Structure 1
């Protein structure tokens, strides 16, 4: 039995949409955001760490777009332990080459560490830096003082110390 042309066309469009969704062509917007796309995308430039005033938390570390950065208490000095599902919820701040220090950031505390997959993750005062997927826009601190993946998460101050709520 011959299928109607509209059924074949719809099937072709559906297959193309699925294949496009599975491709490795992540948009720049997705790469700049939070979540899995930010983790899987290779950065094309050095990351910048900056500072920003965050109401009751004081001055905290953020990236060049004002997105909050966090430390994970389970990490070892300059060594990330957040991988897999953890890294999807808490995407690491990746850099291509040495990170840049913005206003209020101590360049001597800024460094890079290699992740298990070979990516370069930014560290500050020995703490690997992460975003939180629950922060939907710059300036949010929804990850502050959360206990996930076996330890607590905190924002950092300009001295590289955790900020307690």
Structure 2
């Protein structure tokens, strides 16, 4: 198991342990609160009401050797999986062995901040676990656990199935 995989597993376990005794709010009341939360980041006491990922950012960045590609709000490369279905969109990466390595890009409230990405190409789909995943040109989007910093594209071409995604939804050049 690579260093990135171990870190991802540790973070998953730590996140679960930290949230186990916390908020007793039901999923319905949490989503109601999220929908009442002002759009955009807030500072101060209200910031605890803003859930990470409420507004999903997609931006175009320049990949070192692969040209323009789509990244998330932290400028981490986003990927597409060749085994996914596009019409209707459906993820083939659902088991923990896959999602720990290729975390899906989620959009809890389906709101987007798009920078250089065509709004007509952006959508969402329901995953098997009930969460909402972002799609681009009908392809579900993912991050790669071994991308250690913004701009990394270590997952591009991995297993001949995973590719950094271009703004068109196609494979990034490279």
What TM-score, normalized to structure 2?
Answer: 0.68
**Runs (4+) off by over 6 Å:** none
Q: Which runs of 5+ in 2 are unaligned?
A: 1-12, 21-50
Q: Shift of the alpha carbon at 1:56?
A: 1.6
Which residue, 42, 59, 80 being the options, matches 2:91?
Answer: 80
Cα distance in 1 between the residues matched to 2:142 and 2:53 = 18
Q: Shift of the alpha carbon at 1:164?
A: 4.3
Q: Which runs of 5+ in 1 are unaligned?
A: 1-18, 27-41
Q: Shift of the alpha carbon at 1:99?
A: 4.0
Counterpart residue number, 2:19: 25
Cα distance in 2 between the residues matched to 1:97 and 1:110 = 14
Q: Shift of the alpha carbon at 1:43?
A: 4.7
Please tell me whether the aligned partners of residues 58 and 117 of structure 2 are also in contact (alpha carbons under 8 angstroms): yes
Which residue, 132, 157, 160 being the options, matches 1:145?
Answer: 157
Cα distance in 1 between the residues matched to 2:53 and 2:74 = 16
Counterpart residue number, 1:160: 169
Q: What aligned pairs does 1:1-165 form with structure 2 within 5 A after superposition?
A: 23-25=17-19, 43=52, 45-77=54-86, 78-84=89-95, 85-147=97-159, 152-165=161-174
Q: Shift of the alpha carbon at 1:98?
A: 1.7
Corresponding residue pairs, total: 129
Counterpart residue number, 2:30: none
In the TM superposition, what whole-angstrom CA distance separates every residue of 1:68-125 from its partner, at most 9, and x where no partner exists?
0000000001110101211110000011122414221000000010000100000000
What TM-score, normalized to structure 1?
Answer: 0.71
Stretch deviating more after TM superposition (45-54 or 108-117): 45-54
Task: Give the aligned CA root-mean-square deviation in angstroms.
Answer: 2.2
Please tell me whether the aligned partners of residues 51 and 104 of structure 1 are also in contact (alpha carbons under 8 angstroms): yes
Cα distance in 2 between the residues matched to 1:160 and 1:121 = 15
Q: Which has the larger radius of gyration?
A: 1
Q: Shift of the alpha carbon at 1:25?
A: 2.4
Q: Shift of the alpha carbon at 1:163?
A: 1.9
